[in-house]
Chains A and B, each alone.
Chain A
Amino acid sequence: MNEVSDIILFFGRFHPLVVHLPIGFLFFAFILEVFARWKKNDTVTAAVPLALLLGASSALVACVLGYMLSLSGDYEEGALDTHFWFGVITTVIAFLAWLISVGRLKIKVLKQGKPYMATLTLIVILLSVTGHYGGNLTHGSDYLTAYMPFGKEKKGDLVAVTSIEEAVVFDHLVNPILQNKCTSCHNESKKKGQLSFASEEAILKGGKTGVTFIAGDASKSEIIRRVLLDAHDKEFMPPEGKTPLTKEEIAIIEHWIEVAQGDFETKFGAIESNEEIKENAAIMLGLDANSKASSALANVPAPAEKDVKALIDAGFKVRELVAESNLFDVILPTGKIKKENSEELSSKLALLQPLKNNIVWLSIGGNHITDNELKVFNGFENLQLLKLERNPITDEGISSFPELKNLTSLNLFGTKITKFSLTQLDKFPKLKKIHVWNTNITREDVIAYKAAQDSDIEVNL
């Protein structure tokens, strides 16, 4: 392509501005005409020729400017041609319509029909078509339909991944960034700087300033250089007014160029990545950022609203541990149950049963709970932290305690247990800590237990 002088391009860039004038004028002419016929009111028809003339003239200007813009070579030729010719035709028809409206042009053959209304309708159709193609050129051909609320097919056939290792670095991580931040200007129909990110080939081909990236060397790669420039630099990408890449996104692209050698097939699991990259990748893939913590969390259905309400009405504090995890921290405040009404206790604790899979932390210390009530914990599969301190619980309660396979910490301080209870801890296979201060267990008991059991449970006294 020949070099085009700057002044041509300068004017060309006014095309997107000017182009809206004919759209407005011509539509308005149509509306005036329809209105006049519908209301049988000719007063407004006087304005139609003027509107048509203005529309046609501004369409002509828009055509010229559009041609200038097209010389930049930033646009895909096929789509460009369509837009160009539709634009020209629209302009011609607009002039015809004007001529008809002022009575300078009479088409004898069509006299029986309604040439005037027909041309106006045709203009509206042509305007829409031209405008649509123009829009596609500027924003990409899926701009209009990308957020359609109905009939939308999931774009592409990206397989959802369940772990970051499975993710293809380019497809799952890099490409979504490009699609999000770059392809509005660098696509097949609008190739700013002759660069497109629409396909693998296009990316490899590069643009006006050369190749997009140099495999293995992010710092020398054009794509990285351009996004790391000062935001006010002329060459900074994306240009001013558009959302810049975040440093996490840049890190991912750098990682792809450096470590994955810019390969389009490499999977995330096949390359070495540090923790930070892994975390960023997990966030981008919508796999929880705190994968370590969350993987330990059980996936349980939400409890019934009425069960939660019943608990709260009974004086429990119910708080979700992680938003929308359906896992709860439940507290029965100390002293909620007084000694004199401890008969309420069984019925209150029974309310916990419907949430047995949802409760992860449970604090019910200081509420006169006795051995009998402990059976309620049968089947509390996800319970990790159980605070039973300052309750009149004895060894009997502990020996008949149901198995809790995920319990990690058990607080029994201020209960009536003895060293016998220490021998009953096998039913809590994951137990790491037990608190037995202020019980009948002595320091010697703990030492003896530690010696005999070879257990790594931390016994706090």
Chain B
Amino acid sequence: MCDHHDKLRSNNEDLQEVEKMFDRREFLTKTSLGLGAIAFGSLLNADKAWSNVKNNKKPDLEMFSRNSLGLPHHMPKAKRAIYLFQSGGPSQLELFDYKPKLKGMFGKDLPASIRKGQRLTGMSADQTSFPIAASTLEFKQYGESRAWVSEAMPYLSEVVDDICFIKSMQTDAINHDPAITFFQTGSQQPGRPSIGSWLSYGLGSDNENLPTFISLVSKNGGGQPLYSRLWGNGFLPTEHQGVQFRSGKDPVLYLSDPENYDGHDRRHMLDYLRKLNNIQNDSYGDPEINARMSQYEMAFRMQTSVPEITDMSNEPEYIFEMYGEDSRDSGTYAANCLLGRKLLEKDVKFVQLYHQGWDQHLGCPGGVMMNSRKTDQANAALIKDLKQRGMFEDTLIIWGGEFGRTVYSQGKLTATDYGRDHHPKAFTMFMAGAGIKPGFTYGETDDFSYNVVKDPVHTHDFQATLMHLFGIDHERLIYKHQGRRFRLTDVHGHVVKDILS
């Protein structure tokens, strides 16, 4: 203990305190840090640092119910959302974007004036010709809104008056992984938070027994792979990560107790672990420690809540009939739609479904029919079911893939069969429910469903609109990471006000 300036001090402890007050080093440290603290304080809270005390102070509700991020920015329409992601890129030409003029152009080359030298994938770029393939599927108009739907989706045609079709979707990416990553995170490169994570971060949870963001993937899905980073939290705190519910014995991995363990001292164990984590947190202050603690607690609560929610035995027979036979088979798309509804009923904020298999490079008509059979009835049932439960008005339903498909045939074109390559410049999505104009079609494509001719909606616009429906200004939900401010829509995106009710 021979600190160099201790020598100059008297032995009396009280005097030492007094001496310390006049100490040069102390003075410099305190004044410099003090000024720094004032400056820092005003950086954090520029308006309030010097503001008059008489400013009427709002009662402090922060702890209980005020969102620390100042959200929502405006009155929300949606309390929760279910995003039915159709992975692979469903063909708009076989489903909703009816192009009768193509019938007369069978096999003709796609005019260069339409393609305008647009970049193609490596799969069809070296084709010598781009023969136009009109859809072999029958289209009809339905409902009061007279929306066109093909024979592939007979169930959906019953609910077109509840839906808003966006026929002018556009994206930047042309291959699956960048495109799906772009849709989910606003960036083609992996690493940013998914939409559900942003919502969880921004708005918090309405049900502490279940994660705010849950993802469900149809089982036995072939086709393009899906990675868990699609529902990842990116740089947001870990508790905002999407939690995947799987089919079968263990809906959530590592949640159930190991065999031969009765779990009776789990609570005790967690309490002790919390103490240890708190010690660690006190010394390091790493926010991930807090995230971990809250995740342990969440997992503990989920040991009860998950078996409860995945138990389908309470669902009446007619509900299974409504969603289709598949819905009895856990892990199918239909069963996931039904589970999705149950999660929404429990106020899970964002349920993300994925269905793989929409990548029809070959056998497009057959492939679309097959995937529609797996999904169509459940899509329609979900809309009807939410409606009858009075949840349609505050639940947002989104259906769509990562891009659309080309009007020209990839590979051999025959009278009954053709393939279609990826097409990012025009495709169809639909939205329904909270705040969305029902029975409405927005945007138009040209006669080839190749270019958007009216009201384009870019992926970022879609994301901005989604955030808007939750009461969030997409330009103001920002997270600073590695010295840069990030938002879901990066520096893009406009709310598509025309589709809002």
Q: Do A and B bind each other?
A: yes
- With both chains docked as a complex, state the minimum distance between the C-beta of B288 and any C-beta of chain A, in angstroms: 26
A318 near B65: Cβ-Cβ < 8 Å: yes
Chain A residues closer than 8 Å to B347, beta-carbon distance: 317, 331, 333, 363
Rounded to whole angstroms, the CA-CA distance of A356 and B202 in the bound complex is 26
- Decide if A405 is an interface residue (CB 8 Å cutoff): no
Residues A319 and B58 in contact in the complex (CB < 8 Å), given A329-B79, A334-B346: no
- Decide if A215 is an interface residue (CB 8 Å cutoff): no
- Decide if A3 is an interface residue (CB 8 Å cutoff): no
B388 near A461: Cβ-Cβ < 8 Å: yes
List residues 365-424 of chain B with CB under 8 A from any CB of chain A: 387-390, 393-394
What is the interface of chain B mostly: helix, strand, loop, or mixed? loop
- Decide if B75 is an interface residue (CB 8 Å cutoff): yes
A308 near B72: Cβ-Cβ < 8 Å: no
- Decide if A309 is an interface residue (CB 8 Å cutoff): yes
Rounded to whole angstroms, the CA-CA distance of A3 and B79 in the bound complex is 68
- Decide if A321 is an interface residue (CB 8 Å cutoff): yes
A420-436 to B contact mask, C-beta < 8 Å, 1/0? 00000000000001010
A385 near B394: Cβ-Cβ < 8 Å: yes
A460 near B70: Cβ-Cβ < 8 Å: no
Residues A319 and B204 in contact in the complex (CB < 8 Å), given A308-B64, A435-B390, A460-B387: yes
- Decide if B67 is an interface residue (CB 8 Å cutoff): yes
A319 near B65: Cβ-Cβ < 8 Å: yes
List residues 175-223 of chain A with CB under 8 A from any CB of chain B: none
A389 near B390: Cβ-Cβ < 8 Å: yes
- Decide if B17 is an interface residue (CB 8 Å cutoff): no
Rounded to whole angstroms, the CA-CA distance of A320 and B70 in the bound complex is 10
Rounded to whole angstroms, the CA-CA distance of A361 and B393 in the bound complex is 12
- Decide if A446 is an interface residue (CB 8 Å cutoff): no
Rounded to whole angstroms, the CA-CA distance of A288 and B473 in the bound complex is 13
Chain B residues closer than 8 Å to A158, beta-carbon distance: none
> Which of B65, B73, B75, B207 lies in contact with A308, CB distance below 8 A?
B65
B390 near A293: Cβ-Cβ < 8 Å: no
B471 near A437: Cβ-Cβ < 8 Å: no
- Decide if A47 is an interface residue (CB 8 Å cutoff): no
B390 near A409: Cβ-Cβ < 8 Å: yes
B73 near A323: Cβ-Cβ < 8 Å: yes
List residues 247-291 of chain A with CB under 8 A from any CB of chain B: 288-290
B190-232 to A contact mask, C-beta < 8 Å, 1/0? 0000000000000110110000000000000000000000000
A290 near B74: Cβ-Cβ < 8 Å: yes
- With both chains docked as a complex, state the minimum distance between the C-beta of A261 and any C-beta of chain B, in angstroms: 29
A304-316 to B contact mask, C-beta < 8 Å, 1/0? 1100110010000
> Which of A320, A333, A460 lies in contact with B388, CB distance below 8 A?
A460
- With both chains docked as a complex, state the minimum distance between the C-beta of B209 and any C-beta of chain A, in angstroms: 8
Rounded to whole angstroms, the CA-CA distance of A411 and B75 in the bound complex is 20
> Which B-chain residue is minimally distant from A458 (CB atoms)?
B393
Number of A-B contacts (CB under 8 A): 98
- Decide if B262 is an interface residue (CB 8 Å cutoff): no
- Decide if B253 is an interface residue (CB 8 Å cutoff): no
- With both chains docked as a complex, state the minimum distance between the C-beta of A58 and any C-beta of chain B, in angstroms: 29
Chain A residues closer than 8 Å to B72, beta-carbon distance: 320-323
Chain A residues closer than 8 Å to B387, beta-carbon distance: 460
> Which A-chain residue is minimally distant from B72 (CB atoms)?
A322
- With both chains docked as a complex, state the minimum distance between the C-beta of A277 and any C-beta of chain B, in angstroms: 15
> Which A-chain residue is minimally distant from B205 (CB atoms)?
A317
A293 near B58: Cβ-Cβ < 8 Å: no
Which residue of B70, B72, B346, B390 has the most chain A CB atoms within 10 A of its CB atom? B390
- With both chains docked as a complex, state the minimum distance between the C-beta of A414 and any C-beta of chain B, in angstroms: 8
- Decide if B50 is an interface residue (CB 8 Å cutoff): yes
> Which of B65, B204, B207, B346 lies in contact with A312, CB distance below 8 A?
B65
B390 near A411: Cβ-Cβ < 8 Å: yes
List residues 412-461 of chain A with CB under 8 A from any CB of chain B: 413, 433, 435, 437-438, 460-461
Rounded to whole angstroms, the CA-CA distance of A293 and B76 in the bound complex is 9
Chain A residues closer than 8 Å to B207, beta-carbon distance: 317, 333
Chain A residues closer than 8 Å to B490, beta-carbon distance: none
> Which of B61, B206, B390 lies in contact with A331, CB distance below 8 A?
B206
Residues A308 and B61 in contact in the complex (CB < 8 Å), given A331-B206, A331-B347, A409-B390: yes
- Decide if A86 is an interface residue (CB 8 Å cutoff): no
A302 near B58: Cβ-Cβ < 8 Å: yes
A305 near B388: Cβ-Cβ < 8 Å: no
What band does the interface of chain A fall in when counting residues whose beta carbon is under 8 Å from B?
Answer: 35 or more
A413 near B76: Cβ-Cβ < 8 Å: no
Rounded to whole angstroms, the CA-CA distance of A303 and B66 in the bound complex is 12
Rounded to whole angstroms, the CA-CA distance of A357 and B74 in the bound complex is 19
> Which of B75, B203, B204 lies in contact with A294, CB distance below 8 A?
B75
- Decide if B71 is an interface residue (CB 8 Å cutoff): yes
Rounded to whole angstroms, the CA-CA distance of A460 and B390 in the bound complex is 8
- Decide if B126 is an interface residue (CB 8 Å cutoff): no
Rounded to whole angstroms, the CA-CA distance of A312 and B66 in the bound complex is 13
- Decide if B60 is an interface residue (CB 8 Å cutoff): yes
B58 near A413: Cβ-Cβ < 8 Å: no
Residues A387 and B390 in contact in the complex (CB < 8 Å), given A308-B65, A318-B65: yes
Rounded to whole angstroms, the CA-CA distance of A19 and B55 in the bound complex is 42
> Which of B73, B75, B393 lies in contact with A433, CB distance below 8 A?
B393
- Decide if A156 is an interface residue (CB 8 Å cutoff): no
- Decide if A149 is an interface residue (CB 8 Å cutoff): yes
- With both chains docked as a complex, state the minimum distance between the C-beta of B393 and any C-beta of chain A, in angstroms: 6
- With both chains docked as a complex, state the minimum distance between the C-beta of B382 and any C-beta of chain A, in angstroms: 15
Chain A residues closer than 8 Å to B389, beta-carbon distance: 389, 411, 413, 435, 437
> Which A-chain residue is minimally distant from B65 (CB atoms)?
A318
- With both chains docked as a complex, state the minimum distance between the C-beta of A457 and any C-beta of chain B, in angstroms: 13
Rounded to whole angstroms, the CA-CA distance of A85 and B379 in the bound complex is 83
Rounded to whole angstroms, the CA-CA distance of A387 and B344 in the bound complex is 14
B243-287 to A contact mask, C-beta < 8 Å, 1/0? 000000000000000000000000000000000000000000000
B390 near A318: Cβ-Cβ < 8 Å: no
- Decide if A89 is an interface residue (CB 8 Å cutoff): no
Rounded to whole angstroms, the CA-CA distance of A204 and B296 in the bound complex is 68
List residues 50-103 of chain B with CB under 8 A from any CB of chain A: 50, 58-61, 64-67, 70-76, 79
Rounded to whole angstroms, the CA-CA distance of A322 and B473 in the bound complex is 12
Rounded to whole angstroms, the CA-CA distance of A17 and B388 in the bound complex is 74
Rounded to whole angstroms, the CA-CA distance of A413 and B75 in the bound complex is 25
B66 near A304: Cβ-Cβ < 8 Å: no
- With both chains docked as a complex, state the minimum distance between the C-beta of A411 and any C-beta of chain B, in angstroms: 4
Which residue of A319, A322, A438 has the most chain B CB atoms within 10 A of its CB atom? A319
- Decide if B345 is an interface residue (CB 8 Å cutoff): yes
Q: A312-B64, A435-B389 are in contact. List 11 more A-B contacts (CB 8 A).
A: A290-B74, A294-B74, A303-B59, A305-B59, A305-B64, A320-B66, A331-B206, A334-B345, A361-B394, A389-B389, A437-B389
List, sorted by A's number, 10 A–B pairs whose CB atoms are closer than 8 Å: A294-B75, A302-B59, A305-B64, A309-B64, A323-B67, A361-B394, A389-B390, A433-B393, A437-B388, A437-B390
The 7 tightest CB contacts between A and B, nearest first, are A435-B390, A411-B390, A437-B388, A290-B74, A318-B65, A323-B70, A149-B50
